[in-house]
Amino acid sequence: MNYLEALSRRYSVKKFNGEIIPQETLHNILESGKLSASSLGLQPYKILVVESNDMKQKLIPAFYNPSQISTCSHLIVIISKKTVEETYINGYFKHISEVRETPLEQLNLFRNSISQHINQKNQDEIFNWAEKQSYIVLANLMYAAAIESIDTCPMEGFRHDVIENILDINPETEKVTVTLALGYRSEEDHFQHMKKVRKPNEKLFKFI
């Protein structure tokens, strides 16, 4: 199956069949999120992978439509940073230094540029920027899942206060941006038989 066939087959599943995704397949999908493009390379987010049935059951009350949570194999929760602290930037450059075997002092120009860029933003601007990076991750995860023949449903319909309390997320410094249910579509989900509706090319694309 090529990527256009995979994306054509993809839809937002309303009910999964409860089958568990193999670990190797899950690892491949998560790696696609890890390899996602990220502004300045800072990856201002973290990704929680909910796999235990107990935790999924606890999270059900947080969602307005719980059918996906109660039937999926895994639930991915993408959390965006509201602040980018100096300690976070320090850790980023320490990691660059280790991975690329480059002395930290040789990275000072790049580091100062990033610090200046971040310091010019207020908290709302930082969070807006971080959320955009999180949605790039979401797109990569959904695309990789489609290639792996894994079904998905992205979800924003949840109560932030409930989900953040259950997952012990500090609302002062971070916020849940979006969630993604993974699994295999149920035969009972009739949405899989509907034709995909998208804008025709002449209304979507403009060549200039």
pLDDT in tens, the chain (208 residues): 799 999 999 999 999 999 999 999 999 999 999 999 999 999 999 999 999 999 999 999 999 999 999 999 999 999 999 999 999 999 999 999 999 999 999 999 999 999 999 999 999 999 999 999 999 999 999 999 999 999 999 999 999 999 999 999 999 999 999 999 999 999 999 999 999 999 999 999 999 9
pLDDT at 45: 98
Q: Measured in Å, how far apart are the chain's first and last C-alpha atoms?
A: 32
The pLDDT score that the predictor gives to residue 70 is 95
The residue among 30, 22, 67 whose CA lies nearest residue 46 is 30
Q: For 167, which DSSP code? A: T
Are 42 and 92 contacting, i.e. CB atoms less than 8 angstroms apart?
yes
Contact at 8 Å (CB) between 87 and 78? no
Output the pLDDT for position 146: 98
What are the tokens at 145?
Answer: 């899942």
State the residue for tokens 């449903």.
153
φ and ψ at 97, to 5 degrees? -60, -40
State residue 139's pLDDT score.
98
pLDDT at 125: 96
- Both tokens of 28, joined, read 């491949």
Sorted by where each begins, the domain ranges of the chain are 3-186
CB 190 within 8 A of CB 11: no
Distance CA 24, CA 125 (A): 37
Q: Looking at the DSSP assignment, which residues form a beta bridge with residue 49?
A: 76
Residue 191, classed as helix, strand or coil, is helix
Class of domain 3-186 as given by CATH: alpha beta
Range list of H helices, the chain:
3-9, 23-34, 53-59, 67-71, 86-100, 108-119, 123-147, 160-166, 201-204
- Tell me how far apart the alpha carbons of residues 61 and 72 are, in angstroms, rounded to a whole number: 15
